[in-house]
Structure 1
């Protein structure tokens, strides 16, 4: 690969990154870091959700799975859109009116502080797993552009995510989300347009797909697996700290609800565009089967001039790292508020921000070690697993409080809430 490609990639990424981290000087307290002093308007709420929910899984992971399993790759983005719609309809008001910082804090007010810490730990574990998917996507880009080894790619990804997460907190995540939105649609619309043009439209692409493999249905992927993945997406998004943190950061209930609705509209089309690219590659490039995680970087390299391909690759890396940073931020918020702080207010605001950032660094280091357990895994596999774990810890309790709060005092209900994550983990092992 010519050096001009790599130089353009670096300069583009640095330019976008500088815009993203300029928020860092404005963060003066843990409250600003975690919930932006509850000042976000509806677009700001949506930028935070998009900035974290739409990442390597929605782009590289979707193209990868579309290449291997067809339209079932759209489960993640369509499930995300559905979850955001449900969030706006039924949960935004209750969550925003409580004035909490973490979802486990909200649950702890009704189910006790012990359950708060239990829920927070399981939820954080789920986000850890999702961070692995972002690392894998970032590794795919870095290896495609620079041909780095696994260790170097992991270390570089860790450092880059660290820059984003340690800078502007939730406000920085919103700014990254805004930049990601425009980059995402520019890249995916252009890629899908090229795929349709080169492939003779969808009819031409479909006519060249392998015979005997159901790429346009769910039988090859597994109908049961598809249903479980969609359910995991629905409950996982509604149970994840960083997505709900956007709701907590809204300036009022209306901003929270409209931000969720805006996200529900924006996210699903990204999956459609990724599926088009993945199906085109499956129909025309059997050589990609050796490394399907490289499908999208491969497409950029093959079908665009080096300068434009480098620009797009840098944009996708930003998209991936922004999601990883948001997830690390969610885990950090849980760690700080549910274990370190536990309701205490530090008089020294500078000290509180330092503690939060130190916690984020610890989370990031731990997450990077987890990556080495699954370097050869499918990106979406990690994401669905993490969504299910988060949902098992939070979703049932959240539904009890929103729809039938009288049951919150039942010991049987509390016992079942403790049992659900254990059951999910056992089912995953079996």
Structure 2
């Protein structure tokens, strides 16, 4: 995509600033409700069901849906629904433990591990690292995605754009932490859903209507066969890669922790999963429409950018606002999640520091600034090297999936100890690394999860005692 006309550039800049400004205004307004560190970390367990549903959608829909998923639609038609369906299935699996998660009043994923296995600083440290690398990776890569998309459209330098999105993300989070992020994401999420469906419909119209698309493209893309057009090997690779990442992503758990009613925890996940299919409609319709109009793209991920060059100026401007709302929703959520780990797990649980409510909120804001600046510096200095952060999904899932889900299944049947958690998480990381070095066909996260589950089972079966038996005296002292 090349830079647009002067009028388009000015319009996109004004629309972007309006979106950012409105988001900041909403963040400040809703941030007034955040009076305590609990409001900062878990939104005070105050989010209504509809807010949970939409904010989950806004958080999950980032640059990947805007660019990569449209590429899947271009290349493989309705197979993009399989990709989105993997997220839906992940949410359905999370529903199995959602009520328990909400009842326990957790703040971060490491809280779950320590509840199941007992409190231990090394358990918390490993779990915290595995939980925070994914949202930090999201934060840095979304900075890069914003700079790339708007750099091509406006001609503004990537550094300036990264600094702009960094400041916007800070102003979204600083007023009230998760309280600010969730309510702002709710409003932006509604806009994103409407824009996704509207742009998809316009793309089909631009291509001459659905009848023209079906007349110019093979049925294997747009018919029922399109669901498997990517090929079974690719589909199973998606299942193996996406499901574990969804099941261990702290961003999704935090919305469960923040529901107003315990009964909303399960329903929120199920309905949130269904909203993910909106991304499939958006990506599939645009991908097929662009392929009908221009089947000769060298790179399928250029499909979204090529469509922008065909849109009228007014729609380019509105679409620019859509892009901004999508990216800042993800960056704000990711930033708050990282800060929650650092405050709850590192500062309070590992370092053992406790302060008053005002001091904790003030420290949260200071850490928010520091994390955001670090992510911006990495995005500026290493914009291409950040692709390695994709691996954080695999290692995070390898370390956390078995302790969370298998641990939940076993905790009423076997005595689980911190040693079991440490062994399981380390086995997952080592298994993941070994499979990566061997360059296995199946995503290396699967091997890591399998190793983690095997070690956890063996350790749990070999540990004497009844479920809920007291931990050793040194662990009791550490807990105190």
Normalising by the smaller structure, the TM-score range is 0.7 to 0.9
User: TM-score, structure 1 length as denominator?
Assistant: 0.87
Q: Which residue of 2 aligns with 1:106?
A: 112
Q: In the alignment, which of 271, 274, 293 is matched to residue 265 of structure 1?
A: 274
Contact (CA 8 Å) 2:78, 2:229: kept in 1 or not? no
* Structure 1 gap ranges (5+): none
Match of 1:33 among 33, 36, 40: 40
1:346 aligns with 2:352: no
Q: Secondary structure at the match of 2:263?
A: helix
Alignment partner, residue 22 of structure 2:
19
CA drift of 1:98 comes to: 1.0
Distance in 2 (alpha carbons) for counterparts of 1:306 and 1:203: 26
Cα distance in 2 for residues equivalent to 1:287 and 1:144: 21
For 1:185 and 1:282, the matched residues in 2 are separated by 23
What TM-score do the two structures reach when normalised by structure 2? 0.78
Question: What's 1:401 paired with?
Answer: 407
The residue correspondences of 1:68-107 to structure 2 (distance < 5 A) are 68-88=75-95, 90-107=96-113
**The one of 243, 247, 250 aligned to 2:256:** 247
Distance 2:170 2:39 in 1: 18
CA distance in 2, matches of 1:75, 1:388: 19
Deviation at 1:354, TM superposition (A): 2.0
2:334 is the alignment partner of 1:331: no
Structure 2: 5+ residue stretches without partners = 440-480
CA contact (8 A) 2:15 2:320 kept: no
The separation in 2 between residues aligned to 1:297 and 1:179, in whole angstroms, is 26
Matched, 1:282 2:291: yes
The whole-number CA distance in structure 2 between the counterparts of 1:408 and 1:135 is 44
Q: In the alignment, does 2:237 pair up with 1:234?
A: no
Stretch moving more, 100-109 or 409-418: 409-418
Cα drift, residue 328 of structure 1: 1.8
Structure-2 separation of matches of 1:238 and 1:153: 32
> How far apart in 2 are the matches of 1:53 and 1:94?
23
Contact 1:96–1:253 under 8 Å retained in 2: yes
Question: Is residue 71 of structure 2 the alignment partner of residue 64 of structure 1?
Answer: yes
8 A contact 1:119–1:393 mirrored in 2: yes
Instruction: Go from structure 1 to structure 2 and tell me whether the alpha carbon gap of 1:284 and 1:407 turns closer, same or farther (over 3 Å shift).
Output: farther
Deviations 1:183-241 (A, max 9, x none): 22222222221222233445633554599999966888564443232233222222122
Shift of 1:58: 2.2
- For these two proteins, the number of residue pairs brought into alignment is 423
Which residue in the other structure is 1:9 paired with? 12
In our comparison, the structure showing a higher alpha carbon Rg is 2
* 2:166 is the counterpart of 1:163: no
1:123–1:393: 8 Å Cα contact kept in structure 2? no
1:419/1:217 Cα in 2 relative to 1: closer, same or farther (>3 Å)? farther
Is the Cα–Cα contact under 8 Å of residues 233 and 388 in structure 1 kept in the other structure?
A: no
1:314 matched to which residue of 2? 321
1:137 aligns with 2:145: yes
- Secondary structure at the counterpart of residue 101 of structure 1: coil
